[in-house]
C-alpha cells in the first residue's frame, strides 16, 4: 500500500522560509458570508484520539488567525459510525464537519453490515490534515528483539499461548494484525479492548503479547520503557521515532507492502457548497505550510500532511477500502451495526 503523502517533521523544521498564508476571503454560501456562526468539528472518538488532538489545534489556529469559532464535538460509538452518521444527516451548509481518521472511513465499512451511510456517497472530502505511523509493540521482557524473531516465537508456541491486543474488533489495528498473521502464517488470539489505553497497560504487564498501535498512543509508552517497539509498520523510518527500525530492518522485508499509516481528514456531508469546500481546503493548506503548525502536530506524535486538493483525500479512501475488504473477507470478520 502507498502511504499518504505526509510531510516529514525534518522538512517542516527546515522550512523556515515559509510564512503562514494570509487569511483568505470568506467563502460565499447560502445565507451570506461563510462562516457566520460557529462551525462544529465532529470527531467520532473520545478525547485524546489523534483526530481529537488535531481538531483542538485547528480550533486554536482558526480563532487566532481568522477569528473563526470552531468547536470540537466528540461523538464516539459504533467504531466511529455514530459520529459519521451525525454528519451525513446534517444540513450540507458547512457548519457540521467531520474530522476523522481512516479507521471509521475505510475499515469500519469493510467489516460492518447495515451501516446507515456510504462513506463515498454521503461524504465529500475537503482536506488531508495529518497522520501518524503504527508501531508493533510487545512487553518489555518479551523474548524477541525484532519482528522476525517474534514471528518465530509465535510459530513455535502451542495454539493459544500468545495473544494480540487491539483497540477494538474491526479497528485498523485489528485488521492490520490479522493481515500480518495471514502473510506470516502465524495465529494469535485476538483480545479486543475499548481503546488503546487499557490494551497498552495490559501489554506492559505481559497479559497480552503483541499490539499494532498508532504512535499517538504507543510512542509515549515506548519512550517511557513500559512497552518495547519491534518496528515501525513502514518501509522507512519515521521522523517521529528515528531510532525504531523499519519492517525490513526488523527482519521482515516481505511485509513492507502492508506499510500503514493512520491519517486524519476533514470531510463534510454531500451537497456542501463548492465555495465551502474550497474555503476549508485553503485554510488547511495554509496551516500545513506553516512550520509552527507542523511542530504543534509533531508534539502530539502527528506528522503534517503535504498541502493538496480534496481529491487527494478521496483517492486515499478509494485506495484503502478494497484493501481492508479483502483482509476482512479472508479473516471472516463481520460485524452488525
23 pLDDT above the threshold of 50: no
* CA atoms lying within 13 Å on the CB side of residue 66: 27
Least confident of 46-50, 94-98, 180-184, 310-314: 46-50
Prediction pTM value = 0.81
Compute the distance between CA of residue 286 and CA of residue 292 in angstroms, rounded to an integer. Answer: 11
Contact 220, 300 (CB under 8 A): no
At 178-234, the pLDDT tens digits run: 989 988 999 999 999 988 899 999 999 999 999 999 999 999 999 999 999 999 999
Compute the distance between CA of residue 214 and CA of residue 245 in angstroms, rounded to an integer. Answer: 15
Ordered by where they begin, the domains of the chain are 9-132+263-336 (3.40.190.150), 133-258 (3.40.190.10)
Exposure string over 62-87, b if 16+ CB within 10 A, otherwise e: beebbebebebebbbebbbbbbbbbb
Cell of 242: 528515528
Task: Look at 202 and 27; give whichever has higher pLDDT.
Answer: 202
Amino acid at each position: 500500500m502507498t502511504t499518504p503523502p505526509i510531510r516529514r517533521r525534518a522538512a517542516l523544521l527546515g522550512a523556515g522560509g515559509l510564512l503562514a498564508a494570509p487569511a483568505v476571503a470568506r467563502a460565499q454560501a447560502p445565507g451570506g458570508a461563510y462562516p457566520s456562526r460557529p462551525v462544529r468539528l465532529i470527531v467520532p472518538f473520545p478525547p485524546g484520539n489523534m483526530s481529537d488532538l488535531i481538531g483542538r489545534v485547528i480550533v486554536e489556529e482558526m480563532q487566532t488567525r481568522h477569528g473563526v469559532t470552531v468547536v470540537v464535538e466528540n461523538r464516539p460509538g459504533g467504531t466511529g459510525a455514530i459520529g459519521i452518521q451525525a454528519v451525513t444527516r446534517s444540513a450540507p451548509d458547512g457548519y457540521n464537519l467531520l474530522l476523522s481518521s481512516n479507521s471509521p472511513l475505510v475499515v469500519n465499512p469493510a467489516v460492518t453490515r447495515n451501516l446507515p451511510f456510504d462513506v463515498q456517497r454521503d461524504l465529500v472530502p475537503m482536506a488531508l490534515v495529518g497522520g501518524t505511523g503504527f508501531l508493533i509493540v510487545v512487553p518489555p521482557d518479551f523474548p524477541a528483539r525484532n519482528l522476525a524473531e517474534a514471528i518465530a516465537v509465535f510459530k513455535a508456541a502451542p495454539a493459544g499461548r500468545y495473544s494480540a491486543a487491539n483497540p477494538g474488533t474491526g479497528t485498523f489495528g485489528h485488521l492490520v494484525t490479522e493481515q500480518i498473521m495471514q502473510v506470516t502464517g502465524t495465529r494469535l488470539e485476538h483480545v479486543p479492548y475499548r481503546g488503546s489505553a487499557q490494551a497498552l497497560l495490559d501489554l506492559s504487564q505481559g497479559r497480552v503479547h503483541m499490539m499494532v498501535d498508532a504512535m499517538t498512543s504507543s510512542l509515549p509508552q515506548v519512550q517511557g520503557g513500559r512497552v518495547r517497539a519491534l518496528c515501525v509498520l513502514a518501509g522507512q523510518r519515521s521522523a517521529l521515532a528515528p531510532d525504531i527500525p523499519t519492517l525490513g530492518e526488523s527482519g521482515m522485508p516481505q511485509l513492507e507492502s502492508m506499510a500503514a499509516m493512520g491519517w486524519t481528514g476533514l470531510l463534510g456531508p454531500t451537497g456542501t457548497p463548492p465555495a465551502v469546500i474550497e474555503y476549508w481546503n485553503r485554510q488547511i493548506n495554509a496551516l500545513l505550510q506553516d512550520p509552527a503548525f507542523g511542530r504543534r502536530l509533531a508534539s502530539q506524535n502527528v506528522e503534517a500532511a503535504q498541502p493538496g486538493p480534496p481529491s487527494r483525500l478521496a483517492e486515499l479512501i478509494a485506495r484503502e477500502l478494497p484493501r481492508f475488504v479483502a483482509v476482512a473477507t479472508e479473516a471472516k470478520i463481520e460485524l452488525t451495526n
